[in-house]
Chain A
Amino acid sequence: MDPARIRNFCIIAHIDHGKSTLADRLLEVTGTIPEREMTAQVLDTMDLEREKGVTIKASAVRMVYQAADGETYELNLIDTPGHVDFSYEVSRALAACEGALLVVDAFQGIEAQTLANLYLALEAGLEIIPVVNKIDLSSARPDEVAMELVDLLGGAPEEMLQVSAKEGINIQAVLEAVVRQVPPPSGRPDRPLRALIFDSHYDPYKGVVAYVRVVDGAVRKGEPLVLMSTGVGTEPIEVGVFTPGMHPTGRLGTGEVGYVATGLKTVQECRVGDTLTDADTPAPEPLPGYRPAKPMVFAGIYPTEAEDYNGLRDALEKLRLNDAALVFEPETSQALQFGFRCGFLGLFHMEIIQERLEREYGLDLIATAPSVAYQIVTTQGETLEVSSPADLPDPATIQEIREPWMQIQIFTPAEYIGPIMELMTRRRAEVGTTEYLDARRVVLHYRMPLAEMIVDLHDRLKSATRGYASLDYTFDGYRPGDLVKLDILVNKEPVDALALIVHRDQAYEKGSALVRKMKEVIPRQMFPVPIQAAIGGRIIARATVKALRKDVLAKCYGGDVTRKRKLLERQKAGKKRMKQFGRVTIPQEAFLAVLRLEGG
């Protein structure tokens, strides 16, 4: 295809603003998928995504479109992940495009992710086509939202496309705008191959399938390739495009988007952001912007039943085939025995993995409270990375503890500035600038320790603002802090999996809240169970789970032997799913108690 008639674009939107529905509609209108074969939201392949309403894996579909000018165009729609945990993947998908549809809900208007993605798209030099979606809703205020977009992007109100993806209103106009406004790709066909990998998935027959945008040159089936950052060589088994199923073409030319089935065994060898080039005549320079995925949030994941350990390992390995950002290594906890320390891009990523392990692999898991990776500078001058509070070295050998800080933007109606300020400052946030987008809407900028963010900040923010505020974040850097390890002792024994690293100023408050919460969630046992919070052996808070006084069936006669027996059997099975720590039974909830503290 002549690059002049190729358009590569993506759709960026806040969650639930209708990105997937619009994508579906574009596929339908261009005849890429006949209407009768449309399953709602074709691009999202995993059930989980459909349930959570977000896209986890990017995808790329080729559409053939005959425009009003009579020409036939090749439109490549690159879908981007919709959650801030995946912002690096978003940036790579954007780098594969020349234009972006900025979809905004006609009722909700601009939200934090709209902006965050817009900034990324502008940084990537994309042509932005604003689209006001869901104009069919009775609560829609399309003209006001169009004005918000005018304020943000410039242009005239009538240039803001007003559509309803759900009802199929004005979809043609969107396609025409893509053809007219998105620039054609500008690569050099005569140069050695450079293809940007912006996503991948693992296929049991074809190995890792890399989703690529050919920037320069062309890729052909059977010609040896090399991945420029890892140096891994491969001979592609298949080259083709998504329509949206995999459709072999044997070749992808300059400017085109499609896939290369590499035959590689792990996604770790074929990373998002890397450049594919010709093994015989390699390009002198890779494409800019490669950055290996870096996990930010860590948690221990343990099987409730020790015999599921191997099953858990196999499941994690399978998930890792498709997820370069997931890292894990075996971990032993005195309380939870054998499991894995896992690293995730963010809390959302963690939730998804945990859910998939439980749902797709039928595992019963206990997850510890998430932690961040701390840098420990020892008195010897070494720097260690510690992602589990239990691994913190002896305080006497610690010179300094550094923790990751984030830049945070909160997008909110102006009336919630007060409650947000209160919430953020209680969490050690540094207040940055406040930008008014219009009379009612502001963007608040903060810097905040990641550790404060991963404990429920998103939910707290939502409840403080009746759901109106939204949040976006990026990594800022490591900073030293006055941090201490808070031990939790159950029945006088420290439980390693319950330890936390906290700021000294918050230690007392957190310790008290935590022991109170633990008292609620630990079931009464046959003896009183003291629960204590301690810093370096000094007890700072305590509570006692009273002994169970009475637990006996009042009646049991001939008519109900079976029923009563089954009741007892169920109780016994329920108990099995808890962790036995010494003589104390600790339920999963206790390990996540830190996430559920009041106030905070």
Chain B
Amino acid sequence: MTTAEAAAYVHVPFCRARCAYCDFNTYAGIDHLIPAYGDALRAELRAAPHARARTLYFGGGTPSILPLDLLAELFHVLRLTLHIPSDAEVTLEANPGTVPPAYLRGLRELGVNRLSLGAQSIHEDELRLLGRIHTWAETAEAVEAARAAGFDNLNLDFIYGLPGQTLARWQETLEAALRLGPEHLSLYALTLEEGTPLKSRIARGELRPPDEDLAAEMVELAEEVLADAGYFHYEISNWARLEAQSPKPRAKRWWEPGAWNLKPEAFSEDISPFVCRHNLTYWRNEPYLGFGAGAASWREGRRWTNVRHPADYIARLEAGRSPAEEVEEIPPRLEMGEMMMMGLRLAEGVSDGRFRARFGQGLEEVFGEELARLQDLELLEWDGRAARLTPRGRLLGNQVFRCFLP
């Protein structure tokens, strides 16, 4: 039996406190479940389908809540089942308030080589509004400690478009973030999710709703500032630094002439070594296996999702049952739509060659009409080799993605 490739994801659904904007599958106050959860994860991993994982990602939640010994046990099983090569990208998400230097050194020893810190803002009032448990000073310390521990691939997450946030304050956040010299930045527009405290505060009129026009200006500002600082905008919300050089080259923005015609077909990795290879798997709609509560897997036309609540997840595995709860068969036509919806998020776009290799039909054949219409609207660019969003399309992505869905 040949061993297929798949990205591996491990979900850690524990947090010290839930953030005001978060609707992920995370829980505060159930830390007592952590040991049993670790056992359940190992049980799920032992029963995992054969695969070779070139990337491994611990997401949450707050994976940095897990003690090192528990992580060590997980790594042991992960390496046994998933054939993780030595050059694999291994990311762990961390809350800057939960990473003492010794912990960071321990992570490095376990083989974690990419750390993703949820910084969110440099302003204390904004951090409080978001319900974060850490300060900006702690983020800066965590970065320093991570460097000292040997991390040479760091990501920082930030959120913009907050109620009351001005363009000037966002610029301060960007500039302070750049001073820390991260290899990667994820900048997310605040999304008000149903059932979150932030959404209800806005609904009650306690806070001003975010201004979408201002959020558009903020992302444009970020593009400007980060391009000048040598970061490559490779996905709607993600930037990766170009190879370290001195002086730093100005990164080409994804629509600028010449950004893509370096080679007949250029992909994100060709431009920056710091793009997140794990997440590229998602955006390219390639196979992945998810482990843990609520984690999703995708492979061979089928997507399945584990039970969401950690207690249910543990119970299932203790009973020797599969944690998979929802199974969705994705017919080819829908898979094509998903490939567009995910792939167009990337600056590299959707490659006709890869599309054809997967479906046996080219983009023009399947989506000729949509491509033409979106080109007319100046939302999309199609040169016969790849379909990509225009700068306008990048801000109005949903208008584009929808066209490819049923």
CB <8 Å contact, A568 and B394: no
Contact of B189 among A554, A569, A572 (CB under 8 A): A554
**A553 with B295: in contact, given A565-B341, A572-B402 (CB under 8 Å)?**
no
Which residues 218-238 in B have Cβ within 8 Å of A in the complex?
219, 236-237
User: In this complex, which of A549, A550, A553, A559 has the most chain B Cβ atoms within 10 angstroms of its Cβ?
Assistant: A550
CB <8 Å contact, B395 and A561: no
CB <8 Å contact, B402 and A571: yes
CB <8 Å contact, A568 and B405: yes
CB <8 Å contact, A549 and B405: no
Closest A residue to B337 using CB positions: A565
Closest B residue to A549 using CB positions: B216
Report the Cα distance A546→B216, complex, angstroms: 13
Which residues 520-577 in A have Cβ within 8 Å of B in the complex?
526, 546, 548-562, 564-565, 568-569, 571-572, 575
**A561 with B342: in contact, given A550-B396, A552-B394, A572-B402 (CB under 8 Å)?**
yes
User: In this complex, which of A558, A560, A571 has the most chain B Cβ atoms within 10 angstroms of its Cβ?
Assistant: A558
Closest B residue to A557 using CB positions: B282
CB <8 Å contact, A550 and B212: yes
Residues of B contacting A: mostly:
mixed
Report the Cα distance A357→B222, complex, angstroms: 52
Interface flags, B273-313, vs A, CB<8A=1, else 0: 00000010111000010100011101000010100000000
User: Hey, which chain A residues are within 8 Å of B237, CB to CB?
Assistant: 554-555
User: Hey, which chain A residues are within 8 Å of B236, CB to CB?
Assistant: 552-554
Closest A residue to B378 using CB positions: A526
**A561 with B303: in contact, given A546-B213, A554-B188, A569-B406 (CB under 8 Å)?**
yes
B329 CB, min distance to chain A CBs, angstroms: 12
Report the Cα distance A505→B295, complex, angstroms: 65
**A568 with B341: in contact, given A550-B189, A558-B296 (CB under 8 Å)?**
yes
Report the Cα distance A526→B377, complex, angstroms: 8
Which residues 127-165 in A have Cβ within 8 Å of B in the complex?
none
User: In this complex, which of B7, B288, B298, B341 has the most chain A Cβ atoms within 10 angstroms of its Cβ?
Assistant: B341
Report the Cα distance A552→B379, complex, angstroms: 12
Contact of A558 among B288, B341, B394, B396 (CB under 8 A): B288
Report the Cα distance A14→B189, complex, angstroms: 56
User: Hey, which chain A residues are within 8 Å of B239, CB to CB?
Assistant: none
B134 CB, min distance to chain A CBs, angstroms: 21
A597 CB, min distance to chain B CBs, angstroms: 25
Closest A residue to B298 using CB positions: A558
Q: Does B328 contact A (CB under 8 A)?
A: yes
A203 CB, min distance to chain B CBs, angstroms: 44
Report the Cα distance A592→B397, complex, angstroms: 31
**A568 with B282: in contact, given A550-B189, A554-B191, A556-B345 (CB under 8 Å)?**
no
**A561 with B282: in contact, given A550-B219, A554-B236, A556-B345 (CB under 8 Å)?**
yes
Closest B residue to A569 using CB positions: B405
User: Hey, which chain A residues are within 8 Å of B355, CB to CB?
Assistant: none
Closest B residue to A525 using CB positions: B399
User: Hey, which chain A residues are within 8 Å of B396, CB to CB?
Assistant: 526, 548, 550-552
Report the Cα distance A551→B189, complex, angstroms: 10
Contact of A572 among B9, B190, B290, B405 (CB under 8 A): B405
User: Hey, which chain A residues are within 8 Å of B188, CB to CB?
Assistant: 554-555
Closest A residue to B7 using CB positions: A558
Q: Does B338 contact A (CB under 8 A)?
A: yes
CB <8 Å contact, A559 and B296: yes
User: Hey, which chain B residues are within 8 Å of A572, CB to CB?
Assistant: 402, 405
User: Hey, which chain A residues are within 8 Å of B216, CB to CB?
Assistant: 549-550
Report the Cα distance A572→B11, complex, angstroms: 31
A547 CB, min distance to chain B CBs, angstroms: 9
User: Hey, which chain A residues are within 8 Å of B406, CB to CB?
Assistant: 569
CB <8 Å contact, B296 and A562: yes
User: Hey, which chain A residues are within 8 Å of B279, CB to CB?
Assistant: 557
Report the Cα distance A557→B7, complex, angstroms: 12
User: Hey, which chain B residues are within 8 Å of A559, CB to CB?
Assistant: 9, 11, 25, 59, 290, 294-296, 305
Q: Does B382 contact A (CB under 8 A)?
A: no
**What number of B residues sit within 8 Å (CB to CB) of A?**
46
Closest A residue to B328 using CB positions: A562
B58 CB, min distance to chain A CBs, angstroms: 13
Report the Cα distance A553→B342, complex, angstroms: 11
Contact of A561 among B215, B296, B379 (CB under 8 A): B296
Report the Cα distance A554→B236, complex, angstroms: 7
A557 CB, min distance to chain B CBs, angstroms: 5
Which residues 91-109 in B have Cβ within 8 Å of A in the complex?
none
User: In this complex, which of B11, B188, B279, B399 has the most chain A Cβ atoms within 10 angstroms of its Cβ?
Assistant: B399
Report the Cα distance A556→B402, complex, angstroms: 14
Q: Does B75 contact A (CB under 8 A)?
A: no
Which residues 77-134 in B have Cβ within 8 Å of A in the complex?
none
Which residues 333-347 in B have Cβ within 8 Å of A in the complex?
337-338, 341-342, 345
**A550 with B338: in contact, given A526-B396, A568-B405 (CB under 8 Å)?**
no
Report the Cα distance A557→B25, complex, angstroms: 14
User: Hey, which chain B residues are within 8 Å of A568, CB to CB?
Assistant: 341, 398, 401-402, 405
Closest A residue to B296 using CB positions: A559
**A565 with B189: in contact, given A549-B395, A551-B399, A559-B290 (CB under 8 Å)?**
no
CB <8 Å contact, A552 and B298: no
Report the Cα distance A558→B303, complex, angstroms: 10
Report the Cα distance A352→B235, complex, angstroms: 52
Closest A residue to B191 using CB positions: A554
User: Hey, which chain B residues are within 8 Å of A546, CB to CB?
Assistant: 213
Report the Cα distance A455→B203, complex, angstroms: 31
User: Hey, which chain A residues are within 8 Å of B399, CB to CB?
Assistant: 526, 548, 551
Report the Cα distance A551→B215, complex, angstroms: 10
Which residues 350-365 in B have Cβ within 8 Å of A in the complex?
none
A560 CB, min distance to chain B CBs, angstroms: 8
Report the Cα distance A68→B116, complex, angstroms: 92
A19 CB, min distance to chain B CBs, angstroms: 42
Report the Cα distance A560→B7, complex, angstroms: 16
B308 CB, min distance to chain A CBs, angstroms: 11
B288 CB, min distance to chain A CBs, angstroms: 5
CB <8 Å contact, A565 and B395: no
CB <8 Å contact, A552 and B405: no
Report the Cα distance A553→B298, complex, angstroms: 21
**A558 with B282: in contact, given A552-B395, A552-B398 (CB under 8 Å)?**
yes
Contact of B397 among A552, A560, A561 (CB under 8 A): A552
Closest A residue to B282 using CB positions: A558
Closest A residue to B392 using CB positions: A526
CB <8 Å contact, B296 and A553: no
B27 CB, min distance to chain A CBs, angstroms: 16
The 5 A-B pairs at the shortest CB distance, nearest first, are namely A552-B397, A549-B216, A550-B216, A558-B282, A554-B189
Q: A552-B394, A559-B9 are in contact. List 17 more A-B contacts (CB 8 A).
A: A526-B396, A549-B213, A550-B189, A551-B396, A551-B397, A551-B398, A553-B236, A554-B189, A554-B236, A556-B345, A559-B294, A561-B298, A561-B342, A565-B337, A568-B401, A571-B398, A575-B402
Contact residues of A with B, CB < 8 Å? 526, 546, 548-562, 564-565, 568-569, 571-572, 575
Contact residues of B with A, CB < 8 Å? 7, 9, 11, 25, 59, 188-191, 212-213, 215-216, 219, 236-237, 279, 281-283, 288, 290, 294-296, 298, 303, 305, 328, 337-338, 341-342, 345, 377, 379, 394-399, 401-402, 405-406
CB<8 Å pairs between A and B, sample of 7: A550-B212, A550-B215, A551-B212, A551-B398, A552-B397, A558-B9, A559-B290
